């Protein structure tokens, strides 16, 4: 489960607007160390900085070939995965995409390392082929703020390493369990931290109709929707949501695809509740 009213309140207190784009984020991390800048400036043709010290999320490999620029974009995200409904969710997306090739839908799935057995990784590979993005929801779904820095490092790095065996990427967007974040996590994340615009609270047992109503009443271009793997009502809601979103002019895409399509350059270590076009209020 990934939301608490406390967290939402804390986010409201700390949100600020990124100076580079209209992404909503909480804090700009420390700039590149001066020593790195000096090193590159002495060369006639500066070498590109290693990704490890770039302040920005590397979106070079994010595929936008199926993103329809005439549509409003929204990111559906599924936490606590992979569990027993991911296969059903993938089937719903596949069915929708077969019937709506002009509005290809995908999502971001935030995974827990302790769930990534052989079968789970096979499922995630299927998701990857379908255009989904894999995100890091930590190894054991603990409150990271209650851990030592070494333990935080393990929770993030071990899941990144497991996900790398599926998608080949060394780093993944991070969603902290319960949305609990502190300065130490921001400093060591090495990736953008993704919160949400709309919390469906699907894990509380609300009906599919309630989930659909909540999403459709609160989304806008650039919104990020929080849902979870493991609940039948979520699967049922998505069956309704995908065609409803299309009818309302939206396309469901991954968080990274939405940010890149919106020219929203995500910063590693910053917290985002949405990613939308420059200049949009
Ligand atoms: Zn969670």
Give the full edge-to-edge strand order of the sheet including 16-17: 16-17, 24-25, 271-274, 193-194
Domain count, the chain: 1
**Interval 10-19: pLDDT, tens:** 333 333 333 3
Asked if residue 156 is part of any domain, the answer here is: yes
Please report, for residues 33, 78, 109, 249, 269, the alpha-carbon distance to residue 175 in angstroms, rounded to integers and kept in the order given: 26, 10, 10, 27, 11
Residue with tokens 């995630």: 124
Tell how far the Cα of 141 is from the centroid of ligand 1, in angstroms: 6
Where in the sequence is the domain holding 170, given as residue range(s)? Answer: 5-274
Q: Has residue 121 been placed in a domain?
A: yes
How many Å lie between the centroid of ligand 1 and the Cα of residue 42? Answer: 46
User: Is the pTM value of this prediction over 0.85?
Assistant: no
Expressed in angstroms and rounded, the spacing between residue 72 Cα and the centre of ligand 1 is: 27
Is the residue at 279 inside a domain?
no
Backbone angles phi, psi at 223, to 5 degrees: -75, 150
Give the rounded percent of residues in the chain with a pLDDT score beyond 90.
78
Question: In this structure, is residue 11 part of a structural domain?
Answer: yes
Neighbouring residues of 58: CB distance < 8 A, sequence distance ≥ 6: 51, 171
Residue 23 belongs to some domain of the structure: yes
Q: Tokens for 102, please give them.
A: 């002009």
For 197-218, what is the HEC assignment? CEECCHHHCCCHHHHHHHHHHH
Distance 142 CA to ligand 1 centre (A): 9
Prior bond of 268 cis (ω within 30°): no
Position 280 in a domain: no
Ligand 1 centroid distance, CA of 27 (Å): 22
Domain CATH number, residue 84: 3.20.20.370
> What does the pLDDT average to over 41-68?
71
Going from the Cα of 143 to the center of ligand 1, the distance in angstroms, rounded, reads: 10
137 C-alpha to center of ligand 1: Å?
A: 7
Ligand 1 centroid to Cα of residue 46, in Å, is 42
Domain contains 281: no
- Count, in order, helices (H) and strands (E) of the chain: 9, 10
37 CA → ligand 1 middle, Å: 38
For 234-266, the pLDDT digits (tens) are: 999 999 999 999 999 999 999 999 999 999 999
Distance 179 CA to ligand 1 centre (A): 8
Q: Does residue 43 lie in a domain region?
A: yes
In this model, does residue 146 exceed pLDDT 90?
A: yes
């Amino acid at each position: 489960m990934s939301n608490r009213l406390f967290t939402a309140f804390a986010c409201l207190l700390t949100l600020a607007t990124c100076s580079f784009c209209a992404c909503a984020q909480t804090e700009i991390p420390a700039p590149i160390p001066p020593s790195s800048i000096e090193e590159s400036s002495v060369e006639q043709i500066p070498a590109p900085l290693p990704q490890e010290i770039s302040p920005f999320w590397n979106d070079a490999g994010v595929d936008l070939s199926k993103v329809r620029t005439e549509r409003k974009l929204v990111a559906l995200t599924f936490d606590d995965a992979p569990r027993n409904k991911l296969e059903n969710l993938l089937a719903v997306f596949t069915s929708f995409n077969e019937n709506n090739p002009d509005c290809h839908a995908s999502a971001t799935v935030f995974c827990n390392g302790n769930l990534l057995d052989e079968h789970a990784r096979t499922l995630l590979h299927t998701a990857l082929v379908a255009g989904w993005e894999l995100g890091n929801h930590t190894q054991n779904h603990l409150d990271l703020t209650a851990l030592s820095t070494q333990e935080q490092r393990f929770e993030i790095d071990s899941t990144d390493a497991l996900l790398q065996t599926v998608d080949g990427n060394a780093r993944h967007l991070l969603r902290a369990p319960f949305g609990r974040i502190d300065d130490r996590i921001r400093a060591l994340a090495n990736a953008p931290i993704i919160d949400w615009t709309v919390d469906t609270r699907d894990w509380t047992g609300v009906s599919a109709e309630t989930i659909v109503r909540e999403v459709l009443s609160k989304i806008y271009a650039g919104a990020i929707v929080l849902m979870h793997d493991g609940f039948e009502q979520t699967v049922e809601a998505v069956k309704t949501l995908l065609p409803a979103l299309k009818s309302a002019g939206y396309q469901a895409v991954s968080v990274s695809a939405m940010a890149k399509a919106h020219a929203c350059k995500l910063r590693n270590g910053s917290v985002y509740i949405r990613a939308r076009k420059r200049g949009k209020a």
